[in-house]
Amino acid sequence: MHSHYDKRIRTIRDLDCGEKRIYVELELRRVDCPICGGVKTERLEWLANHPHFTQRFAMHVGRLCREQSLSRVAQLLRLHWETIKDLEKQYLQKLVDRAGTPAPQAIGIDEISIRKGHVYRMVVSDLARKRPIWFGGQGRTEEDLELFFSWLGPRKTAKIRLAVIDMWKPFTNVVSLRPHIRIIYDEFHILRHLNDAIDQVRRQEYFRLSQKDRRFIKGQRYTLLEQMEPPGP
């Protein structure tokens, strides 16, 4: 069974030259595939994944998006913001590919809310390089965090020396399964628990004392809790 092809003219946008827009017209071959029965279009390395732009134009869009909003870049280049968003994703993917798989020694584990209704995703950061390295899961359960360690692999997981986490129990449970990783709880959550404990003791003492002595404790809540605040920079 033989395949045959035809040619189609496509107009591709390249980098502008001053105030002039530059377009390239080229012929792309369309081939009938004898295996799947579909039609395959010729792929050129210097073209972006978006069929109407060059790679270097996509990289230019991505660099603009680092300093300006999608809407502003769309207005500047006179393109739809969905097109700008698609080209920016290609730019970000290039950065991820260039960085390669990380091998962190110190990680920070947290979750972010992506919409209302307690919908979370896990975020793991390389604390030494000060950048996020993994985003995933469907919540903040032990299974979600295990996805990160599976992605990183046992060899690189063995290089991790410490993990900074909040006091969420599933985080502690998963990290504790790897005894070579030292757990450090972040200051914010430690102080929150200490504040709660001090407030609870204050209330207990208030009800334990006589009416006369209660005047000493009444109104002192913020005076006591203020002493737990960390010093400023």
Rounded Cα distance, 29 and 8, in Å: 6
Per the structure, the complete domain to which residue 146 belongs is given by 106-185
Answer yes or no: do 14 and 91 share one domain. Answer: yes
Q: Report the residue count for the chain.
A: 233
Answer yes or no: do 140 and 154 share one domain. Answer: yes
HSE at residue 210, side-chain half, CA atoms within 13 A, is 2
Does the pLDDT of residue 117 top 70, yes or no? no
Q: Which residue has the tokens 């029965």?
A: 37
User: What confidence tier does 116 reach under pLDDT thresholds 50, 70, 90?
Assistant: confident
Q: What is the mean pLDDT of residues 24-34?
A: 82
Pairing relationship of beta strands 131-136 and 162-165 according to DSSP bridges: unpaired
Answer yes or no: do 66 and 143 share one domain. Answer: no
Q: What is the pLDDT of residue 166?
A: 87
Q: Which amino acid appears at position 116 of this protein? A: K
Helix (H) or strand (E) holding 38, with range, is: none
Does the pLDDT of residue 228 top 70, yes or no? no
Does the pLDDT of residue 8 top 90, yes or no? no
**Over pLDDT 90: what percentage of the chain?**
47
Q: What is the pLDDT of residue 41?
A: 76
Of 175 and 225, the one with more pLDDT: 175
Answer yes or no: do 88 and 139 share one domain. Answer: no
> How many domains does the structure of the chain reveal?
3
Answer yes or no: do 64 and 87 share one domain. Answer: yes
Answer yes or no: do 197 and 172 share one domain. Answer: no
Does the pLDDT of residue 1 top 50, yes or no? no
